[in-house]
Amino acid sequence: MARRALKLASWTSMALAASGFYLYSNKYLDPNDFGAVRVGRAVATTAVISYDYLTSLRSVPYGSEEYSQLQSEVHLRSARRLCELCCANRGTFIKVGQHLAALEYLLPQEYTSTLKVLHSQAPQSSMQEVRQVIREDLGKEMLLLAVKQLFPEFEFMWLVDEAKKNLPLELDFLNEGRNAEKVAQMLKQFDFLKVPQICWELSTKRVLLMEFVDGGQVNDRDYMERNKIDVNEISRHLGKMYSEMIFVNGFVHCDPHPGNVLVRKQPDTGKAEIILLDHGLYQVLTEEFRLDYCHLWQSLIWTDMKRVKKYSQRLGAGELYPLFACMLTARSWNSVNRGISQAPVTATEDSEIRNNAANYLPQISQLLNHVPRQMLLIFKTNDLLRGIEAALGTRASASSFLNMSRCCIRALATHNKKTTCSFFRRTQISFREAFSLWQIDLHELILRVKALRLTSWVLALLCRLLPAPH
């Protein structure tokens, strides 16, 4: 025991000495940049939160009104502690906090409302630090010190591990500029999408100069109402954009939290426009993964449960394929079986998902360890998009599923045409593709007619019930 204590003390002394020298030699580095400091803070915060839950709720009957009130208070205190932890530790912790803030369909409201500050008001670098970077990268000065960012081990969260792998790419601003131009070209058919232009002559790996574009956050309903922007239209546009990225191109913007997706009215036309920011992190899907994912979503939309099982298992879900389908769709297994495009999300279902999520944590962890690594960022992207839909009140609309289905049909048809040399076979595939797309158009038209009929029926009923003004 003494030997272990002595060894630990020596390692601690070495770490402190190295830390002191590094801090002394670099006046722009904060002590909080050290992994030991951040891990210690994370462990302490976790312990305090756990203790608060255990002691505050222990003596109160579960399910009582007092329990609900106390639980809400503990949620709020814990959320504030978690937010303080993210702001203090920065880096990967900010990324995780932004992700959690978008899970409005899954986490308690106290957490999401508190952590939302990280979308647009995350800790910022001082002007002194910014000027230093600009001088070093755009001036003629030599770089005297190589700064290495230290990130803590936080192994119980797969999201953190993935973020740590991708942070070097996100911090290469030349890579971000190339991604921005690539996605702008890739989605140029969408006149509702705005990607800020890059000023290449004044950009380096650590400095990115781009066009300034202003707008409101995509989950800000009040902003949209003030500016007469239709939330349903924005939700449809967002669904089209991401379906095209995922199913057709396999090049996916993986950080659509509300601080990175803005909306505005176009200055010249007055039409609603989506502004896509932060292009540091994209997931490039393999052909095999993308096609299996297309097949899986087609099966989910059209309620083909045999194929749901088949393609879930091809994507690594194994016997946990029902849980996999629920995680992808953010719906209950009962809704998946009935048809996610048929049954709208209800408050009861939302409550069921929230209450059961914690019970399935071991299975979720097992699933995340078995699926392909590219699936992890797809899960993250799906979660953030579901959070936006929940905030706008447009979750799981039939229109969004139909747009996804169109993209799946086009993607699979394009692949099948590429893999055949027969002109007759390619023509056959093209006709089948056109017919399938026509079926979807017809189905969407029927849904709209039904909606119009229902609206006119309700208006007629109101006219009969309400007396005419004199």
What are 171's two structure tokens? 């911090």
Q: DSSP of 370-405, one letter per residue? A: HS-HHHHHHHHHHHHHHHHHHHHT-TT-HHHHHHHH
Instruction: Say which DSSP state 280 is in.
Output: S
In angstroms, the first-to-last Cα distance of the chain is: 93
- Residue 159 · residue 99 · CB < 8 Å: yes
**Do the Cβ atoms of 198 and 209 come closer than 8 Å?**
yes
Q: Quick check: 152 and 35 in contact, CB under 8 A? A: yes
Active site residue 255: yes
* Rounded Cα distance, 408 and 248, in Å: 7
The span from the CA of 187 to the CA of 93, in Å, is 31
Closest CA to 397 of 263, 235, 243: 235
In Å, how far are 161, 294, 318, 323, 362 from 366, measured between CA atoms? 15, 23, 10, 11, 6
Nearest to 403 by CA among 447, 468, 349: 447
State which amino acid sits at residue 388. I
Residue 132, CA atoms < 13 Å, CB-side half-sphere: 13
CA-CA distances (angstroms) from residue 156 to 78, 106, 160, 185?
Answer: 18, 19, 9, 38
What 3-state DSSP class applies to 230?
coil
Burial 166-177 (b: 16+ CB within 10 A, else e): bbeebebbebbb
**417 burial type by CB count under 10 A (0-12 exposed, 13-18 middle, 19+ buried):** middle
Task: Given the residues 255, 292, 350, 383, select the one marked as catalytic.
Answer: 255
Q: Which residues are catalytic?
A: 255
